[in-house]
């Protein structure tokens, strides 16, 4: 029971930043950047935002209301990626994860459970907490009068339960990043369509082609396309990278779980 309480406590400590808070903060920053940086008069002819842009910042401003939305998504991905980077490092623990697993397996093979527990104390992190829960159950099973199969299954169940408690903290915010990978691209295409509509309206004007409106429409289409694709690409890269980290930690846990079960089966008659 004590092991489970410690595991739950570990999970609470490792809670990451709320995605909702990040999105709201990113929206505020994006709106401020859009109006006060991109929309500055210095970025346009005669200092008027309604005139032709004279640099890239002004061109981005002409992208319209979709730009701050895409910027919100982009900032959200960046902030959540940084947050996940530190969270994953904390979950992994202090030392090299592969070496940690190898050392634990070596100590188990030697029958030195105490040394394996000390390795967990030294490693720290979510993976070490799960392995430590399995080791404590391993020691507990040695004192119980149960069949070998029941004891091995109990060890596996303990590790699975500890993993179920720790895994949500490792996967936190990854679904948001995965959603943005699609949403960013779709918003970019939406902005592209709006820009093309404006361009066609300029071409179809009764008084001839409105070059200013045509330029604004093309700028809106290109800026939104580029920013949407960039946001989606960054989100995909971030999601793939951190999902791989979670998979590596899961594999490490499964490897130690198998090692625990095998060691108990080989070293105990009952």
- The DSSP symbol for 45 reads G
Q: Which residue has the tokens 């188990």?
A: 108
Q: Is 268 left (phi over 0), alpha (psi -120 to 50) or beta?
A: beta
CA atoms of 258 and 264, how far apart (whole Å): 10
CA atoms of 66 and 187, how far apart (whole Å): 7
Alpha-carbon distances, residue 26 vs 20, 69, 73, 80 (angstroms): 10, 9, 8, 11
Q: CA torsion, points 112, 117, 121, 122, in degrees to nearest 10?
A: 30
CB proximity list for 74: less than 8 A, separation 6 or greater: 184, 227, 230, 231, 234
Q: What is the pLDDT of residue 212?
A: 74
Contacts 24+ apart (CB under 8 A), 17-23: 17/79, 17/80, 17/83, 17/173, 19/76, 19/80, 19/173, 19/176, 22/76, 22/79, 22/80, 22/83, 23/72, 23/76
Cβ-based burial of 250 (10 A; exposed 0-12, middle 13-18, buried ≥19): middle
Check: CB of residue 165 under 8 Å from CB of residue 7: yes
Q: What is the pLDDT of residue 255?
A: 93
- What is the distance, to the nearest Å, from the Cα of residue 66 to the centroid of all Cα atoms in its chain? 24
Is 239 strand, coil or helix?
helix
The domains of the chain are located at 2-267
CB proximity list for 146: less than 8 A, separation 6 or greater: 154, 270
CA atoms of 59 and 254, how far apart (whole Å): 52
Q: What is the pLDDT of residue 8?
A: 38
- What is the distance, to the nearest Å, from the Cα of residue 95 to the centroid of all Cα atoms in its chain? 22
Q: What is the pLDDT of residue 209?
A: 62
Residue ranges in the chain modelled with pLDDT below 70: 1-15, 205-210
The pLDDT tens digits of the residues spanning 207-235 come to 556 677 787 788 889 999 999 999 999 99
CA atoms of 206 and 228, how far apart (whole Å): 33
Q: Which residue has the tokens 């990113």?
A: 26
Residue among 220, 219, 222 nearest 194 (CA): 220
Q: What is the mean pLDDT of the chain?
A: 89
């Amino acid at each position: 029971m004590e092991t489970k309480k410690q595991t739950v406590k570990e999970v609470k400590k490792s809670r990451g930043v709320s995605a909702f808070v990040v999105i709201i903060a990113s929206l505020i920053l994006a709106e401020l950047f859009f109006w006060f940086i991109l929309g500055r008069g210095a970025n346009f002819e005669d200092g008027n935002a309604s005139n032709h842009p004279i640099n890239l910042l002004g061109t981005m401003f002409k992208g319209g209301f979709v730009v701050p939305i895409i910027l919100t998504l982009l900032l959200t991905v960046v902030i959540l990626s940084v947050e996940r980077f530190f969270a994953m490092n904390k979950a992994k623990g202090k030392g090299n994860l592969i070496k940690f697993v190898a050392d634990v397996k070596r100590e188990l093979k030697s029958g030195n459970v105490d040394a394996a527990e000390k390795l967990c104390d030294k490693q720290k992190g979510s993976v070490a907490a799960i392995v430590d829960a399995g080791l404590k159950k391993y020691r507990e099973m040695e004192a119980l009068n149960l069949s070998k199969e029941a004891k091995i299954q109990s060890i596996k169940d303990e590790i699975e339960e500890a993993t179920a408690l720790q895994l949500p903290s490792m996967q936190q915010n990854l679904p948001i990043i995965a959603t943005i990978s699609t949403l960013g691209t779709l918003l970019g295409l939406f902005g592209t369509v709006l820009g093309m509509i404006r361009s066609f309206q300029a071409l179809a004007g009764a008084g001839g082609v409105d070059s200013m409106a045509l330029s604004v429409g093309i700028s809106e289409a290109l800026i939104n396309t580029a920013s949407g694709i960039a946001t989606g690409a960054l989100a995909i890269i971030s999601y793939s990278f951190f999902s791989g980290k979670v998979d590596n930690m899961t594999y490490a846990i499964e490897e130690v779980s198998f090692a625990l079960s095998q060691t108990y089966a080989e070293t105990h008659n009952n």
